[in-house]
Structure 1
């Protein structure tokens, strides 16, 4: 193509600022033309075409780092179109979730777990225990749904056994006791005995947990009650010692 143009005219033709042209030069997106005898850059129509391509891709959201290797503009635009479509789908899903949040109660747990939590008061558990379990299940199902499902089914099964259910109820009741109360020691012995009868010498549920989440959950429980903190230490020590 013949003819030369100044940087100002080039910017106007392409619909960008002179500063943008210089940025594209600095990033290696647009090759710099040779200067004339007066020291001015002289651009050609090829530069204008390249600049329009760069502007189009930049406006479409293509990172400048990707524009550097333009290749076939149609291929790049097709990639961007697919990315935008995926982004739009994600935004629509987010919008739906926000609308559900605004419309009323949110189901953060599987329906089966929600029904289970609703039955706990009738089994003798207090509001604090129910609220604690709800928060723990929400966290575990959000981070490790497979592990949470195993934990949930194990606990639901345990609560069908009157003797095991009593251990859970006793754990709820020692929450506010002084940590040195003999009831804490007695409960630790009974929990360890029941654990060995239930699981034998095999690994305990959660021993293969893929992250620190279960341990962090236990730490949070312990922090809420000095008695629970001591109970947890006694149980771990007796299980480790085999006594």
Structure 2
């Protein structure tokens, strides 16, 4: 019986393919053994040890181009190189985890574009039995708000959170949704607008931009795109919002026009 193993046996023992062993040879990571009298290369314990070392390091994430130098390094350099590989792998894991989380968010529509706090507000709306269409509209408005008026986005969220914890505000909001079926000239819209404005004015701090926030030159256009989103589809809601804003301005709240 010939001494040593064939390339197929060596590959099987180490847990790689013959193609991988040959790739290691081409890169100079494992020296090719001498051929025997039958013109076969036979792998002994030294070659198998080297194959195991290369396979283990490669499996741990060490780039193949670095393995040869690493195996020939002194213990101090070996440890330092492994620390560097560990750092790089950690960064890759963090990046992959972030990508996975983004994919998970994508399964929930526009939530990929919103922070967890905003998503919690949307969940709260659903729990309070607001219609899926209204929740979708609010999701779109939050996405727009975060992109167009980032300086006041947190204040915007805080106002929503505070309002959803107030049964009276929730009831007024739901009455506002009922107004979608009203005629734009319905006198109930003025009454509802006054009630909504008065409720908002109970916490004026949440209606005032935070100190240091910058008002861009096109603030009115940005605000309008957010606060009047979808109004073109609902004339009565457009009038309701216009009246609420007018009442707030009359009370001294600076709202872009």
Q: Per-residue deviation at 1:115?
A: 2.3
Which residue in 1 is equivalent to 2:240? 231
In structure 1, distance between residues paired with 2:102 and 2:250: 51
In structure 2, distance between residues paired with 1:234 and 1:98: 45
Q: Per-residue deviation at 1:131?
A: 0.3
Is the partner of 1:120 in helix, strand or coil? helix
Which residue in 2 is equivalent to 1:216? 225
Q: Per-residue deviation at 1:156?
A: 0.5
Which residue in 2 is equivalent to 1:179? 184
With normalisation by structure 2, the TM-score equals 0.48
Q: How many residues align?
A: 147
For residues 170-219 of structure 1, what are the alpha-carbon distances to aligned partners after superposition, in whole Å with 9 as ceiling and x for unaligned? Answer: 222212321122321220111122233321xx783459654332222223
Would you say the 8 A contact 2:189–2:240 is kept in 1?
A: yes
Which residue in 2 is equivalent to 1:204? 207
Is the partner of 1:124 in helix, strand or coil? coil
Which residue in 2 is equivalent to 1:134? 139
Would you say the 8 A contact 2:125–2:164 is kept in 1?
A: no
For residues 82-113 of structure 1, what are the alpha-carbon distances to aligned partners after superposition, in whole Å with 9 as ceiling and x for unaligned? Answer: xxxxxxxxxxx9xx969955995262211122
Would you say the 8 A contact 2:180–2:237 is kept in 1?
A: yes
The CA RMSD over aligned residues, in Å, is 3.3
In structure 1, distance between residues paired with 2:106 and 2:195: 43
Would you say the 8 A contact 1:151–1:205 is kept in 2?
A: no
Which residue in 2 is equivalent to 1:34? none
Which residue in 2 is equivalent to 1:56? none
Q: Any gaps of 5 or more consecutive residues in structure 2?
A: 1-94, 253-257
Q: Per-residue deviation at 1:122?
A: 2.1
1:73-152 mapped onto 2 (5 Å cutoff): 105=107, 107-152=112-157
